């Protein structure tokens, strides 16, 4: 067991003790917090990492002492700032990992996402996601929860239709060519991108093969509001909160966006790739 997982177990145990001391069942606490009961269980059993917001509202609901609340907040912040081991996270379950991400997205109003090699999870079709999760399961020996993980990923996409949120996606053209699924699945995925790119709160940019790049792409990254950056490597999930780090990634995103094709120009790139597959776009 990693030190990260042990710290998550310790925090979950403390949360459970506070709930029980308040004589609340998991269902009763969930009702007070307007959560799904499963989230209470996931946090207590260390299948999901509690955020600062999670522990604050939990402490308020059970009327925890101020010093106890401060300690819980400190532990939650430390967990989020740690380098999270991907192999350990995937072993806790593909679906649980998707729930972690969904909770973070629910607190975000402005998304800026750069992905050089894969279609962004929020934009994936069911079948494309299924093939991606199968590969993740094989690489990380993840718990076999592919159907549940796909279901949660599709539920996450409902946030795209919330007009109060803004989404800016930038991907490389190569990501749309990369065969992570059979050809018919890839064609369906491209059709999906054509449709989503027309949503009024979504900007979808494609960096064409012939674009001169502002810098060498190393990893994809997600910027949540102006407060946090998630950077996924092969072995670690980095969570960056330092303002200087966030500002650097914002500048990098803006640089990539400047050389990307958006709106009709971006859709033209997608249509060209569809034509290469011998398929007329349906949108």
Q: pLDDT tens digits, residue range 59-116?
A: 999 999 999 999 999 998 887 665 455 445 545 556 666 666 777 788 899 999 999 9
Band (pLDDT 50/70/90 cuts) for residue 6 is confident
Q: pLDDT tens digits for 208-247?
A: 999 999 998 888 999 999 988 988 887 777 888 889 999 9
Rounded mean pLDDT of 138-160? 80
Q: How buried is residue 158: exposed, middle or buried, by Cβ count under 10 Å (0-12/13-18/19+)?
A: exposed
Mean pLDDT of the chain: 87
What was the pLDDT predicted at 96? 63
- Indicate the pLDDT class of residue 250, thresholds 50, 70 and 90: very high
Model pLDDT for residues 13-47, shown as the tens digit of each residue: 999 999 999 999 999 999 999 888 889 998 999 88
pLDDT at position 281, please? 52
pLDDT at 82: 59
Secondary structure of 141-191 as H, E, C letters: CCCCCHHHHHHHHHHHHHHHHCCCCEEEEEEEHHHHHCCCCCHHHHHHHHH
**How far is Cα 149 from Cα 223, in angstroms, rounded to an integer?**
23
Note the pLDDT of residue 241.
82
Report, as an integer, the average pLDDT of 135-162: 81
In this structure, the strands spanning 228-232 and 84-85 are unpaired
Question: Which domains does the chain show, CATH number per domain?
Answer: 3-82 (1.10.260.40), 85-276 (3.30.870.10)
**Do the strands 228-232 and 110-115 form a parallel or antiparallel pair, or are they unpaired?**
unpaired
User: Is pLDDT of 142 > 60?
Assistant: no
Examine the pLDDT at 195 and tell me if it is beyond 70.
Answer: yes
pTM above 0.85, yes or no: no
- Does the pLDDT value for residue 249 go beyond 90? yes
pLDDT of residue 266: 96
Q: From CA 271, how far away is CA 278, in angstroms rounded?
A: 11
């Amino acid at each position: 067991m990693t030190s990260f997982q042990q710290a998550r177990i310790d925090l979950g145990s403390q949360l459970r003790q506070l709930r029980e001391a308040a004589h609340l069942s998991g269902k009763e606490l969930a009702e007070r917090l307007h959560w799904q009961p499963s989230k209470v269980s996931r946090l207590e059993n260390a299948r999901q990492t509690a955020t600062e917001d999670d522990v604050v509202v939990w402490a308020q609901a059970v009327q925890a002492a101020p010093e106890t609340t401060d300690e819980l907040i400190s532990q939650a912040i430390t967990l989020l700032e740690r380098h999270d081991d991907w192999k350990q996270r995937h072993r806790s379950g593909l679906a649980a990992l998707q729930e972690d991400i969904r909770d973070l997205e629910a607190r975000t109003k402005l998304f800026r996402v750069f992905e050089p090699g894969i279609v962004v999870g929020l934009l994936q079709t069911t079948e494309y996601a299924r093939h991606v999760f199968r590969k993740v399961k094989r690489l990380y020996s993840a718990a076999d929860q592919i159907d549940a993980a796909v279901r949660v990923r599709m539920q996450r996409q409902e946030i795209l239709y919330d007009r109060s949120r803004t989404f800016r996606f930038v991907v490389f053209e190569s990501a749309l060519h990369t065969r992570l699924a059979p050809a018919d699945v890839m064609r369906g995925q491209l059709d999906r991108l054509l449709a989503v790119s027309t949503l009024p709160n979504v900007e979808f940019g494609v960096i064409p093969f012939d674009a001169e790049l502002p810098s060498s792409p190393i990893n994809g990254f997600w910027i949540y509001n102006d407060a946090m950056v998630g950077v996924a490597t092969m072995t670690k999930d980095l969570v960056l909160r330092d303002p200087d780090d966030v500002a650097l990634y914002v500048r990098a995103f803006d640089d990539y966006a400047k050389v990307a094709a958006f709106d009709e120009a971006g859709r033209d790139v997608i249509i060209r790739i569809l034509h290469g597959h011998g398929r007329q776009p349906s949108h």
